[in-house]
């Protein structure tokens, strides 16, 4: 392993896999944590059940414990759509097809993180061009993901014109990605040590989208009715938050800063930080990161050749990698045995985000729910999945 070593915890806690607790560059055996006390239903409360088939983007059973109006507790149950995906016993290439389909909307982040871990296990390092190309993929994906979050938030307010303009932009990004990588969701665009992401004129095309978005964003910022729905909604004060939710609370947690798997260091990257800590803060961070990602894409200077290289590495080993997905840290840990994956560890951002979302829902009312939910950008497909 290049970057990870077993040791005493240092730095921020990123999350726990089945076997390990992960810190930046450090892993250790998982320590048992006390489960928070389950919510005891009071006499006045009843459970308002929402979902699984309720018109939300994905299926999950959401239970609101409420004595009327005010929400005391939220449970989100995704067992109902639990998928079991076999990874162990496969070659990395076969496993990749399944990893991409854990969360298709963030397929590039998952695939790249997984591949980085595999490459770490094999002890190979892809050429610089490939790594930079991966940054381009992740940043393009981030733009689309953030556009969806902002669009869904506007949708919760029934804000027709911006919703349509944002989905217009999102579809544009999907088409750009489709044109450059051959697939609208980066399926099959990544392989061990290589990528298929043609980058000529990418920066210009993405730049146009980003400029167009900036106009919508500015107009949204002066739409009082919309902003009022977000401010003080879902205040997130957890110190171990990740991704945009952390950065919206003034916490500088970003794998682009503290994970060396991708060469962000060369791009003079500084995270967007906001202090609001509510849904409005997350809206701001998500929106501003669209411009930032577009700038990053402009800064990356690579040529189109040398985008794949078949390196021969060892067939046994252990590797770990972590990258910043649009919603926060993704982590994969791989153990290879004779070229076959024998164990897999993972941390998906939706787990932490869901936990923080549930905490931030206390005291809210149901009409706040959609704004808050969308602001975290939680994907049930990342939660309702077991990797075996």
Partner 1 sequence: MNINFWFLKGIFKGIKTEKFPKKAPLDIAPWSTALVGKGNVDCPVEAIKDGKWNFEKCIFCRRCLPEYAPNGDTAIYKVSGNDRTFKKSFHLFPLDSGACGACNVELHNIAAPQYDMTRLGIFFTNTPRHADAIVIMGVWTEGMGKVLERALEAMPGPKLVIAMGACAISGGIIGTGVTDKFNADVVIGGCPPNPYTILSALMKARGE
Partner 2 sequence: MLGYYFLMPFAVSILISIFHRKAGYISLAVSSIIFFIFAFTSFTYLSSFIAISSMVWIFASIFSISYGKKYGRWLAPLFSLTVFGMATILVSTTYIQFISGWEVMSMASYAIIGLNRKDSSPPFIFMGFSELSTIFIIAGAAISFSLTGTISIVSTTSMIPMVLFTLGALVKMGMVPFMISEWLPIAHGNAPANASAILSGTMTLMGVYFIVRMMFLSPLNPVFGIILITIGVISVIFASLFAYVSDSPKMLAGFSTVENNGAILAAIGFYMIADTPLLMEFALATIVIFALSHSLSKSLIFAGIGASGMESFHGTESSGDPMLKAGMFMGTASLSGLFPTIGGLGTWMILEMFFMGALEPGFYGIVSIAAGSAMALGEGFAAAAMMKVLKFTSMGKMKDGIDPMEKRTVYYMGVILVALFAASPFFIYSNLIGGIPSVLVFNGFTIQSMYSSTDFGLISPDYVLSILVSFFLVWIIVFGRPKGRIVPTWNNGRESFEPYNSYAYSNNIRLMLRKILRTDTGHMSQRIAMADVFWIFTLRVTGMYKKIAKFFTLGIMNSSIRWYMVYMIVAFVFVLLFAKYMG
Residues that bind partner 2 (CB under 8 A): 42-44, 46-54, 59, 61, 66-70, 72, 362-363
Distances (CA, A) of 290 to 122, 129, 145, 297: 34, 23, 9, 11
Q: Quick one: 77 or 94, whose CB is closer to partner 2? A: 77
Q: Which does 68 bind (CB under 5 to 8 A by kind): partner 1, partner 2, none?
A: partner 2
Report the nearest approach of partner 1 to the CB of residue 245 (Å). Answer: 19
Report the nearest approach of partner 2 to the CB of residue 49 (Å). Answer: 5
Q: Quick one: 101 or 358, whose CB is closer to partner 1? A: 101
Q: Which does 179 bind (CB under 5 to 8 A by kind): partner 2, partner 1, none?
A: partner 1
184 interacts with partner 1 by CB under 8 A: yes
Q: Which does 82 bind (CB under 5 to 8 A by kind): partner 2, partner 1, none?
A: partner 1
Report the nearest approach of partner 1 to the CB of residue 354 (Å). Answer: 15
Is residue 183 a contact partner of residue 120, using CB atoms and an 8 Å limit?
Answer: no
Rounded distance between C-alpha atoms, residue 47 and residue 157, angstroms: 25
Is residue 318 a contact partner of residue 332, using CB atoms and an 8 Å limit?
Answer: no
Gyration radius (Cα) of the chain, Å: 20
223 interacts with partner 1 by CB under 8 A: yes
Is residue 98 a contact partner of residue 87, using CB atoms and an 8 Å limit?
Answer: yes
**CB atoms closer than 10 angstroms to residue 209:** 21
User: Which residues 276-295 are close enough to bind partner 1 by CB under 8 A?
Assistant: none
Is residue 302 a contact partner of residue 129, using CB atoms and an 8 Å limit?
Answer: yes
Q: What is the DSSP secondary-structure string of 216-285?
A: HHHHHHT-HHHHHHHTTSS----TT--HHHHHTTT----HHHH-TTS-GGGGT------S--SHHHHHHH
Backbone angles phi, psi at 96, to 5 degrees: -60, -40
Which listed residue (76, 135, 148, 321) binds partner 1 by CB under 8 A? 148
Q: Quick one: 10 or 40, whose CB is closer to partner 2? A: 40
Element (H, E) at 332: strand 328-337
**CA torsion angle 66 69 75 79 (round to 10):** 110
89 interacts with partner 1 by CB under 8 A: no
Q: Quick one: 52 or 260, whose CB is closer to partner 1? A: 52
Q: Which does 122 bind (CB under 5 to 8 A by kind): partner 2, partner 1, none?
A: none
Nearest to 126 by CA among 112, 138, 107: 112
Report the nearest approach of partner 2 to the CB of residue 68 (Å). Answer: 3
Q: Quick one: 44 or 303, whose CB is closer to partner 2? A: 44
Report the nearest approach of partner 1 to the CB of residue 213 (Å). Answer: 13
User: Which residues 27-86 are close enough to bind partner 1 by CB under 8 A?
Assistant: 52-55, 57-59, 79-85
Element (H, E) at 94: helix 92-100
Report the nearest approach of partner 1 to the CB of residue 105 (Å). Answer: 4
**Contacts with partner 1, residue ranges (CB under 8 A):** 52-55, 57-59, 79-85, 94, 97-98, 101-107, 148, 159-162, 164-165, 167-168, 170-171, 174-175, 177-179, 181-185, 187-188, 196, 219, 222-224, 379-381, 384
């Amino acid at each position: 392993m290049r970057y990870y070593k077993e040791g005493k915890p240092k730095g921020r806690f990123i999350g726990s896999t089945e076997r390990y607790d992960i810190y930046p560059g450090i892993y250790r055996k998982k320590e048992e944590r006390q489960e928070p006390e389950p919510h005891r239903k009071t006499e006045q409360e009843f459970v308002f059940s929402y979902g699984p088939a309720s018109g939300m983007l994905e299926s999950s059973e959401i239970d609101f414990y409420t004595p009327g109006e005010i929400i005391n507790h939220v449970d989100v149950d995704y067992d109902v759509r639990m998928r079991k995906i076999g990874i162990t016993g496969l070659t990395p290439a076969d496993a990749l097809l399944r990893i991409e389909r854990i969360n298709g909307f963030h397929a590039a982040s998952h695939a790249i993180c997984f591949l980085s871990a595999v490459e770490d296990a094999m002890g190979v390092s892809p050429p610089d061009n490939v790594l930079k190309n991966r940054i381009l993929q992740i940043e393009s994906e981030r733009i689309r993901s953030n556009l969806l979050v902002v669009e869904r938030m506007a949708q919760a307010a029934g804000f027709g014109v911006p919703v349509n303009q944002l989905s217009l932009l999102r579809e544009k990004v999907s088409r750009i990605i489709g044109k450059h990588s051959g697939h609208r969701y980066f399926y099959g665009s990544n392989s061990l040590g290589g990528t298929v992401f043609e980058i000529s004129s990418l920066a210009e095309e993405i730049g146009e989208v980003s400029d167009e978005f900036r106009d919508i964003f500015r107009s949204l910022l002066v739409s009082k009715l919309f902003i009022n729905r977000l401010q003080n909604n879902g205040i997130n004060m957890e110190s171990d938050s990740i991704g945009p939710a952390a950065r919206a609370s003034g916490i500088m947690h970003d794998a682009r800063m503290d994970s060396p798997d991708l060469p962000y260091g060369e791009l003079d990257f500084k995270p967007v930080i906001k202090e609001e800590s509510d849904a409005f803060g997350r809206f701001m961070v998500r929106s501003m990161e669209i411009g930032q990602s577009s700038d990053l894409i402009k800064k990356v200077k690579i040529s189109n050749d040398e985008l794949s290289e078949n390196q021969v590495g060892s067939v046994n080993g252990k590797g770990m990698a972590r990258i910043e997905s649009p919603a926060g840290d993704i982590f994969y840990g791989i153990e290879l045995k004779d070229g076959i994956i024998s164990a897999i560890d993972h941390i998906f951002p939706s787990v932490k985000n869901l936990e923080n979302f549930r905490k931030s829902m206390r005291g809210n009312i149901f009409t706040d729910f959609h704004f808050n939910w969308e602001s975290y950008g939680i994907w049930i497909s990342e939660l309702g999945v077991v990797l075996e």
